[in-house]
Structure 1
Amino acid sequence: MVLNGSAARQGQIVDIGDGLIMRWSTSADAENVSKLMSDCFRFLPSGRQLPDDQIPGENEVLANAARRLLKGTNACMSSTDYALVENTQAGPSQNPIVAAVSLHEIPGYYGSVRLTYGKPELIACDPQFRSRGLIRKLMMEMIHPESDRRGHVLQMIFGIGYFYREMPDISWIPKLGEGEKEQYTLRQATLDDIPFLVRLSTNENLYVDAEMGSAYDEKYWRWLVHDVYQNPVGRYDGHRITTIIRDETSGRDIGFNQTAFVYSFLWFKFALEKGEPLHKILHPVMRQMLAIGNKQCMTYREQELAMKAAKGESTDDVRKPQLSSMRLALGPKHPAMTLVQSKLAPEEVLPVIPLYTRVFDYSAFILKVAPTLEARLAQSVFAGATAKLQLNFFKKLEGMSASGLEVVFEKGKIVSASPWKKPSPEAKVEEVRKRKAAGLPALTIYAGEFHPLTFTSLLTGYRSFMDLAWSNADTNVDNEDSRYFLEALFPKVSHDFDLFIW
C-alpha cells in the first residue's frame, strides 16, 4: 500500500556531508530502523522496575512498532514514508540508519470539517550523531515539504486526549454466579464488523466532547481488526483488541469495546447502540475483557520464556502475570466512568496535555475549515458580520508563509483569507480618506497581534486568547470587540486523538 506515494520522491537523495545522506525509506530499511528505535528508547519507562545500576535492554515495543510501520500495510503510512539519515561510511557492525522521522496521515476533523492531519511520529537519532541538527533537517527539508505537498493544512505531534484514571483494584467486579451464563457476550471483531464499527464510533456514541480529533473510518478499523494481525513482526502486534458486544437474548450486536495491553491494561473505547442499558451491560463486559487481558498476559509470558530460552538466558525473572489493576481512557463524560467512580484512584490535577502543531499557511487552513468558523460565528453576537479580521505576527519566520493574515467576512461568510502585512499609520489614514471620498461606508476591522507562531495555539483551540495574553506580552488586540470576535471564532476546545493505530 502506498499513501500519496511519489516515484520522484523515492529517488531523492540529499548529501549533507560527512558521509551522511537524507533519503526516503523502503521496506528493506525495516530492521535497521527497528534497531535504531530499540537502542534509542532503552530508557523509556517499560512498566518494569529495574535496579538503578542496570542498563535496560532494547525496547522491544518500539522496535516492533517500527517494523509494523514499514510493512507497507499500515493504516497511516506506507513503507516509503520514513525520512532517514543514512551513514554511508558505517562499518559492517554499525547501523547505517542514524536518524529517522516517519510521516503519518491521520484522518480527522475540525468541528464539522473532515480533513487529514500530517503527523511526524516515532522519531529517533543515534546518540553518537546528536547535536548536529539531523532531526531538524529531516523535519524541515523532507517531512514538512512532503506533508505540504499532500495538502495537509496542519501537522501535529500530540499527547493523549485525556489522562488515564487508575482503577488500582479490580477484585470488586462481581463474579458470574454458579450455573449462570452471560446475557451480554464479547467476540473479537472481524472485517465483517467494520461497517458497524464505523457507524458506532462517533463522538456522540463514545461520549467524547471534542472539536478536534481523529476520525475512526474504515481504514482505521481495517487495520485494527485485521491487517495488524497479518504477517506478524513480533510481540504486541495485536495489543489493541476490539470486541463486539452481543445481546444473547435478542441475538443482536449492540456495541463494541476496545482494550489494549502492553505494559498495563487499558480500556480505550466502549460504545453502545442508543437505548441499551449500560448499567446492566457494564459488569459482563468488564468480566470478559479482563479474561481477555489475562489471556494476553499469559501469551506474552510464554513468548518471553521462549525468547529467553532461545538465547540461553535465565527465565527466573519471568513471573506468572495476573491483572490486578486497570487504566481507563474512556473520557470524563462517559457514563461508565460515573458508574465506577468510587473504585478509581483519586483524580490528579495535571497540566494541559501537550499539543505541538504547525500550520505553515494560515490562509489555506482558514479556507479549509471555513464551515466550522462560520457556524461558530453564527452562534455568537457577531452573527451575519461583515468585517475584516487582520492579524499581525510581527515577522515571517521559518515555518510560516507570511507575517500576517487577513480574513474577509461578508454577512457571516468567509469570502477570502490571504497573507497580510500591517500597514503604516499613514497608509491606514489614506485608506480611510479614499473610502470617504468614494462615499463608501467605514470598514469594520477586528485586529490583533501575536508573537510569531503562537497564533496556531489559538487556531487549534489548544490555548484561549487569554491564555496567550497572560503568557506572552506580544499578544494584543485593538479593542475589546476584537478580542470577543477572536474568542467567538477560536474558542478553547477539547481534543480526542487516537495515538495507537500503528
Structure 2
Amino acid sequence: MFPHIIDTAYRQQLDERLILRFATTNDLEPLAQFNGRIHGDHGQFNPFVAQWTREFASPDHPSCGPGNVTIVEDTRTGQIVSSMCSIPQTWTYDGVSFLVGRPEAVGTDPAYRRRGLIRAQFEVFHAKGEAAGQLAQVITGIAWYYRQFGYEYAIDLSGGRGVHPSLVTPLKEGEVEPYQLRRATVDDLPFIAPLYDRQCARSLIACPRSTAEWRRLIDTADNPMQFLDTYIVETGNTAQPIGYVTCQCELGWGQFRVSEFNVIEGQSLRAVLPAVLRRLRPVAEAAARAQGHELRGLFFQFGEQHPLFDAAPDLLPQARPAYAWYVRVPDPPKFLNRVAPVLEARLSRSGLAGHTGEMKVSEYVRGFKLIFEGGRIRSEAWTPDDTDNAAFPPFTFNQLLFGRRSLSELRYVYPDVGCEPEFAPVLETLFPRRPSHVLPMA
C-alpha cells in the first residue's frame, strides 16, 4: 500500500482537494501556528505546543524532524488542516531495548473532522514504523479514541501524589534550610545521569537518555520557551550535591508537576522533601501567575508507586490515580522473542524453571504460541481456533505484557479473558504486575 513509505517525497491524494504528505522545513511555522491553535484549551492559543512543534519538526531534532511529521493540506487554500508526528526512540523492557514510535500532536481542524484524515496518517506511520523495525507504538491522549487504531491502555501514566501550596511546612523561626536548589547545567550531567539510570532500573518500561538528549534537556540557553527545569539539590552548609529534581514548566490542571526526583544512595527522601517543597513553591507560584492559572498543588507525577510515596505519604496527602499510555504491538511474537531473555530469567527464578511445553494464546482476531524448551522461550504466530489455552479480548494482552494488570485482575474485569488452570501459573510467572514510570523523548 505504501511502496515509497520511507521516501519523504511520498504524497497521497485523499480526495479532490486534500493531499497527505510529509512536512518540509517550509511548513515549520505554519505547522507551529496550526498546532498551537488546534491544541489550545477553550479556544486559546497554546504557545507551549507551538514551541514544541518548532522543536520536534526541526531538522535539528535528534530523532524526529520534518520527515517524521505528516500534514494534510487543502490544495485549494494551501492550508494545513490535519497533522501528526511520530517521534522515534528506544525504550527498554526490564533492560532489554526495543524501538518505539511515539505518535504525538495529533489534530484536525474542526471543519475537516470525521473524514478519516487521522486514520490515513496512522496507516502511514504504522507502515513506516514496521519498515524501521519498531516493535511498538505508544501515545498519550484522549480517552478511548486511539483504541480504534489498534492501541490499548497498557502502561501507567501521570498518577502520583501532591500537596496544596498552603500545606507546605514553613521553616521554624531560627531554623536554617538544610537543603538548597540551584539550576542544573551540563557540567552536572556526570552526577545526574547515573541517578536517572537507577530510576530506569526500577521501572519495567523505561526510556534511556543519551548524553546528547541530556544536553538538549539541560542546555536551554537558546530556547525561548523551556519545557523542563532541572535543579540540583545540595546540602545547605557544604553545597554538596545529593540529588536532583526536574519540573515541567507548563502547569497541568492547575498543578505544578515534578516529573523526576532522585537522590544518592543512603540519602533519605523524606528528609529532603520539605526543603524541596519550600524551594519549589515560589517557582510554582510564579509559573501560575505567568500562565494565568490558579495554583492548586505541587504534584509529584511518578505514577502510583515510588519510594518517595512510601517514605512520606503524610507530606503529600493528595493522591491521584494514574491514567495510561496507549500501546500498540503490531506483532506480539516478534516483541516476545525480543524480550525472551527477561521472560526466561523470570521462569528460571520460579518453580517452573526448566519448563517444557506449548501454550496457545488467542486474542480472538489474532493469536500466538509460546513454546518452552527446557526453560528457553520462543514465540510464533498462530491462527486462533478452539484449541487455545488462554484468551484475551483484542489487544488487552498488552496490559499483562507491560505489567499494568495481573492475570487475575484482567479475568475479574473482562468476562472474555480466560485461561486453563494449568497454564495460569505460566502467565503469572512470565508477566507479574510491575509499575513503570516512563519519561519519553519529546
1:449 counterpart residue number: 391
Deviation string for 1:72-108 (max 9, x for gaps)? 33455223211221111116xxxx2111111012332
CA-CA distance at 1:473 after TM superposition: 4.2
CA-CA distance at 1:347 after TM superposition: 3.6
Alignment of 1:421-460 (within 5 A): 421-422=383-384, 447-460=389-402
Query: How many residue pairs are counted as aligned between the two chains?
Result: 422
- Matched-pair contact (CA < 8 Å) for 2:303–2:437: no
Q: Choose which of 488, 495, 498 in structure 1 pairs with 2:429.
A: 488
* Larger RCO of the pair (alpha carbons < 8 Å, separation 6+): 2
Question: Which amino acid in 1 is paired with 2:424?
Answer: R
- SS of the aligned residue for 2:66 comes to coil
Q: Choose which of 75, 80, 93 in structure 2 pairs with 1:110.
A: 93
- SS of the aligned residue for 1:200 comes to helix
The whole-number CA distance in structure 2 between the counterparts of 1:394 and 1:282 is 48
CA-CA distance at 1:334 after TM superposition: 4.1
TM-score when normalising by structure 2 = 0.84
1:405 corresponds to 2:368: yes
CA-CA distance at 1:266 after TM superposition: 1.8
CA distance 1:498–1:8, shift in 2 (3 Å): closer
- Matched-pair contact (CA < 8 Å) for 1:112–1:371: no
- Matched-pair contact (CA < 8 Å) for 1:36–1:125: no
2:113 counterpart residue number: 130
- Matched-pair contact (CA < 8 Å) for 1:77–1:105: yes
CA distance 1:285–1:27, shift in 2 (3 Å): same
Question: Which amino acid in 2 is paired with 1:242?
Answer: T
CA distance 1:342–1:11, shift in 2 (3 Å): same
CA distance 1:103–1:409, shift in 2 (3 Å): same
Mean alpha-carbon deviation: is it higher for 194-203 or for 287-296? 287-296
Q: Choose which of 222, 229, 243 in structure 2 pairs with 1:230.
A: 222
Question: Which amino acid in 1 is paired with 2:170?
Answer: P
The whole-number CA distance in structure 2 between the counterparts of 1:12 and 1:246 is 52
1:211 corresponds to 2:204: yes
Question: Which amino acid in 1 is paired with 2:21?
Answer: R
CA distance 1:328–1:454, shift in 2 (3 Å): closer
- SS of the aligned residue for 2:14 comes to strand
Q: Which has the larger radius of gyration?
A: 1
Q: Choose which of 162, 165, 168 in structure 2 pairs with 1:169.
A: 165
1:438 counterpart residue number: none
Deviation string for 1:300-357 (max 9, x for gaps)? 37xxxxxxxxxxxxxxxx7xx8967422224555454456533444545x4x623322
- Matched-pair contact (CA < 8 Å) for 1:161–1:498: no
Which of the two has greater strand per residue?
Answer: 2
Q: Aligned-residue CA RMSD in angstroms? A: 3.1
- Matched-pair contact (CA < 8 Å) for 2:165–2:281: no
CA-CA distance at 1:373 after TM superposition: 0.9
Structure 1, unaligned runs of 5 or more = 1-5, 45-54, 302-317, 396-402, 426-445
CA-CA distance at 1:368 after TM superposition: 0.8
CA distance 1:75–1:296, shift in 2 (3 Å): farther
Question: Which amino acid in 2 is paired with 1:266?
Answer: R
1:367 counterpart residue number: 337
- SS of the aligned residue for 2:345 comes to helix
Identity %: 25
Q: Choose which of 108, 132, 149 in structure 2 pairs with 1:150.
A: 132
Q: Choose which of 316, 341, 344 in structure 1 pairs with 2:313.
A: 341
CA distance 1:56–1:376, shift in 2 (3 Å): same
